[in-house]
Structure 1
Amino acid sequence: MPLPPFQSSGLLTMGVELELMLLDPRDYSLAPAALNLLDLMRVRQDNRFVFCPEITQGMVEFNSAIHPRWHTLRDELTAMRGFLTSLASECGIRIAGGGTHALQDWKDREFFPAARYEGLGEKYGYLSKKFTIFGMHVHIGVGDGDTAIELIRAVSPWVPLLIALSCASPYQEGVDTGFACSRLHSLTPFPYSGAMPDFADWAACERYINGLEAWGIVASIKDFYWDIRPKPEFGTIEFRIFDTPLTGDIAADLAGLVQLLCARMLYEKCPVPECDVYPHNRFQACRYGLAGEMVDPYSGERRSFAEAAADLLNQLAPFAGELDAREVLARIRQKLEPGMTQSDAIVQVVKHHNGDLRRLLAWQANCFSSGEITLP
C-alpha cells in the first residue's frame, strides 16, 4: 500500500510513545500479562490514556496526547503513572522503565496474539523475540513532507548526543554488556535500521519507500527502523533512539529537549557536515554514554559528549523562553554536573546489591511508581 499523504500538524507539537516492562513481583521476570492488563483497561472504560500491545506479552506501549509544551506532557505522564500503577497492582504485576530487561531470555517470550506480530515472528525468526526491548519514541510536528526531510537532515548530527544523554540499558541476559545503551544494538540486524538515507526531498523519500513496498520487500513504513523516520500519517518526524526512561519526568525532559533542538534547526540553517562521523559518534554514545568521544561533524573537534551537551544547552537557551522550556534546560544541566547517566545509576545499584539483578529490577519498578530516582 503506498504511503498516505503527508498530514498537516502543528509545527513543533510533540508526543511520546513509551514501551514499558510488565514485571512479576515474585522474581521480577517479565510477566506475560499484556492481554490481562489491556482487558482490564477496556472494562474500566477510562479513555484518558491510550495503551496498546507490543510485539511480546511482557510489555505494553503508552501513547501520549499531542502537546505544544513539555510541562503539559509531564502532567499527562504523571497522571498516567498513577493510573497504570494502580491497574498493574490489580493484575498482580509491576511496571518499570529502562531500555532492556536485565534478565530476560528471548526464548521465553510469547508473541502478543495479533497478525502483525505473528507475521514479524515468521519473517524475522528469533530476532523478533529478541526485539523485547523498551524504547521511547518522540514525535515532533513538522507540517509537511519537505520540512520533515530537511529537519531530519539538520538534527541527525545531534542524534548520538541524544543517545548519550538518555542511555539506560547496560544489562542484557544477565550480563553487563559494557555498553551504556545496548538496546540499539538489538535493532542493528534488522534491514533498514540506523541512519535514514539522505533524501533530497519528500518526493524522493516517498519514491524509495513506495518502490520497496511495490516489490514486496516492506509492508509499510513501520518496517523501517531508522533512528529518525518521517510519519506522514501523523505529520511528524519520529525519534526512535531513546531507551525508555526510568521516570516520566525524564521522559518529558528529553521530549522537551528534542522540541528545542528542532526549533533551533528550523530557524537557524546549519552547514553541511564535512565528514560522515555519524557511525563513530553513535557507537561512542552507545558504548560510553556521556563519557564517550564526539567528533564535531563540521570542524573535526573531539570532546566528550558531556562537554558537547553543555555547549548545546547554551545554544538552545534563546528558544527556551518562547517554548516555556527554561526548566528543561536547567534540569538537564543539573544531570550533566555529576556526569551520571541512567545507565551509570543502574550499574551503581547492581554493585550496591552485589550483582543481584532482581534487586535492580525491583529498584527500576520503584523508580517508575515513585517518579524519582533514589540511589542506595
Structure 2
Amino acid sequence: MSLPPFKSAGMLTLGVELELMLLEPHTFELSAGALNLLELMRMHADKRFFFCPEITQTMIEYNSGVHGRWHELLDELRAMRSYLLPLVDECGLRISGGGTHAFRNWHEQAFFPKERYLNLGEKYGYLSKQFTVFGMHVHVGVGGDGDRAIELIRSVSPWIPLLIALSVASPFQEGADTGFACSRLHSLTSFPYSGAMPAFADWAECRDYIDGLTGLGIVGGIKDFYWDIRPKPEYGTVEFRIFDTPLTVEIAAGLAGLVQLMCAYYLARPAPPPLYDVYPYNRFQACRYGLAGEMVDPWTGERAGYLDNARALLDRLTPLAREFDAAKVLHVYRDKLEPGLSQADHQRAVAAAGDLPRLMRWQADCFASGVVASDGQTR
C-alpha cells in the first residue's frame, strides 16, 4: 500500500501523543488494567478526550487535539488529567509519567488484544514486550507540504540529541540504575529502521523509499519506521519521537512549545547539511549523561556541554517567543538550566536508598499534582 498524499495541515500547529503507565496502587508494579480503563472511558463517552491502547496492557496512550499555541495544549492536558484521575481511581489503579517503569519485567507483559500488536509480537518476539516503555511524540504541522517536512527534518535533526538531553526521564530498568539518563530509547534501537532518518533530498525520495520497502513486504507502512523524527503525511506533520514521557503534563506542554519554536526558527532559516557525522555520538552522550554530556557541533567540529548548547538555543529562539506566546516556556527552561538538574536527576535522588516502589509512587504523585517535588515527598 502506498503512502497517502501529504495532508494539508496548519503551519506550525501542535499536538502530542502521551504514553502513560498503569500502576497497582499498593505495590506500584505495572498493572494490566488497560482493557478495564478503556471500557470505562467508553461508557463515559466523553468526546473531549481520545485515549487508545498501546502494545501491552499496562499502558494507554492519549492523543491531544490540534493547537496553535503551547498554552492551549497545556489547558487541554490539564483538563485531560482532571478527567482521567477519577477513572483511574475507580479502576483501582494509579497512573504515571516517566520513560520507563523502574522494576518492570518484560516477560510478564501481555499484549493488548489488537491485531497490529499481536502481529508485532509474532514478528519481533521478546523485543515487543520490552517495548513496554513510555514516550511522548510531538507533532508540528508543516502546511501540507512534504518537501517542507523533509527540509525541516534535515534542519532540526542535528539538534535532536539536545532535545533528548533536556527531556531525559528513564534512568531505571529491570530493578537497576542503568547508568543512562535516558534508557528508553535503547528499547527502540533494536528494531529495524530506527534511529536517524536517512538524508532524503525531498519528499518524493522519502515516499519512494517507504513505498519500495512496503511493496517488498518488509514493512507495513510508515508506522514500522521507528526513526527519531519522521514525516507523518496522513496528519500533515513532522513527528518528534525522542521524548521520554514527562513526569507532568506541564513539562509535556513546555517541551512541545519548545519544539514549536525550534521548528518556526528552522522553517524560516533552513540549515545546511552537516559536515560531520556526529549524530550517533551526540545522541549517545544525551542518553548517557543528559545535560551533563557534551555535543560536537556538526558543522565546526567544536565540542561544548549540553548546558551551554541549551542556553545558546534558548537565546536563538527568544525573538520568536512573543509571536508564539512562549516567553514562559523559555523562562522555565532558563531556570531549569541554572541548577542543571534533569527529570532523571530527580528520579535518582528519590530512589537513592534503592526504594524503587517509592520512586514509582512519587512519579504517580508528580503526574497527579503537576509538581515535581525535588525533596521526593509523596502523599
Q: TM-score, normalised by structure 1?
A: 0.99
1:3-18 map, 5 Å: 3-18=3-18
1:335-350 alignment, distance < 5 Å: 335-350=336-351
CA distance in structure 2 between the partners assigned to 1:145 and 1:62 by the alignment:
26
In structure 1, runs of 5+ residues without a counterpart are none
Q: Which residue of 1 aligns with 2:214?
A: 213
Deviations 1:289-313 (A, max 9, x none): 0000101111111111011000100
Task: Using the TM superposition, name which of 296-305 and 190-199 deviates more.
Answer: 296-305
Contact 2:154 2:273 (C-alpha < 8 Å) held by counterparts? no
Aligned to 2:134: 134
**How far does residue 271 in structure 1 lie from its aligned partner after superposition?**
2.7
SS at match of 1:123: helix
Give 1:21's aligned residue. Answer: 21
Residue pairs, 1:141-156, within 5 angstroms? 141-143=141-143, 144-156=145-157
- Report the Cα distance in structure 2 between the residues aligned to 1:332 and 1:71, rounded to whole angstroms: 15
Aligned to 1:200: 201
Structure 2 unaligned residues grouped into runs of 5+? none
Q: Deviation per CA, 1:152-176, whole angstroms, max 9, x where unpaired?
A: 0000000000000000000000010
Q: Residue in 1 aligned with 2:99?
A: 99
Q: C-alpha offsets along residues 246-286 of structure 1, whole Å, 9 cap, x if unaligned?
A: 00000000000000000000111323211111000000000
Task: Give 1:170's aligned residue.
Answer: 171
Distance 1:34 1:368 in 2: 18
Partner Cα separation in structure 2 for residue 272 and residue 163 of structure 1: 21
Look up the SS of the partner of 1:16 in the other structure.
strand
1:106 Cα deviation from its structure 2 partner:
0.5
SS of 1:189 mapped into structure 2: coil
Tell me the residue number matched to 1:40: 40
Question: How much has 1:82 moved relative to structure 2?
Answer: 1.1
Please say if 1:331 is aligned against 2:361.
no
CA RMSD of aligned residues (A): 0.6
1:62 and 2:53 equivalent? Answer: no
Q: What is the distance in 1 between the residues matched to 2:185 and 2:27?
A: 26
Q: Distance in 2 between matches of 1:283 and 1:311?
A: 21
Question: 2:119 — aligned with what?
Answer: 119
Q: Is 2:232 the counterpart of 1:231?
A: yes
2: distance between equivalents of 1:301 and 1:71?
36
In the alignment, does 2:306 pair up with 1:302?
no
Question: 8 Å contact 2:3–2:207 — kept in the other structure?
Answer: yes
* Per-residue CA distance 1:311-360 (angstroms, 9 max, x = gap): 10000011111111111100111111110000000000001xx1110000
Displaced runs of 4+ in structure 1, greater than 6 A?
none
- 1:374 is paired with a residue whose SS is coil
The aligned amino acid for 1:365 is A
2:315 corresponds in structure 1 to 314
Corresponding residue number in structure 2 for 1:288 = 289
- Correspondence for 1:370: 369
Kindly report which structure 2 residues correspond to 1:248-267, keeping only aligned pairs within 5 A, or say none. Answer: 248-267=249-268
Q: Give the match for residue 31 of structure 1.
A: 31
Is the 2:151–2:270 Cα contact (8 Å) retained in structure 1? no
Letter in 2 for 1:164: A
Q: Which residue of 2 aligns with 1:182?
A: 183
Letter in 1 for 2:359: L
1:72 match: 72
Q: 1:325, 1:26 → 2: CA distance?
A: 39
Q: Tell me, in whole angstroms, the C-alpha distance in 2 between the residues paired with 1:237 and 1:272.
A: 18
Aligned counterparts of 2:81 and 2:23: Cα–Cα separation in 1? 15
SS at match of 1:283: helix
- C-alpha deviations, 1:62-113, integer Å up to 9, x for none? 0000000000000111111111111000000000000000010001000000
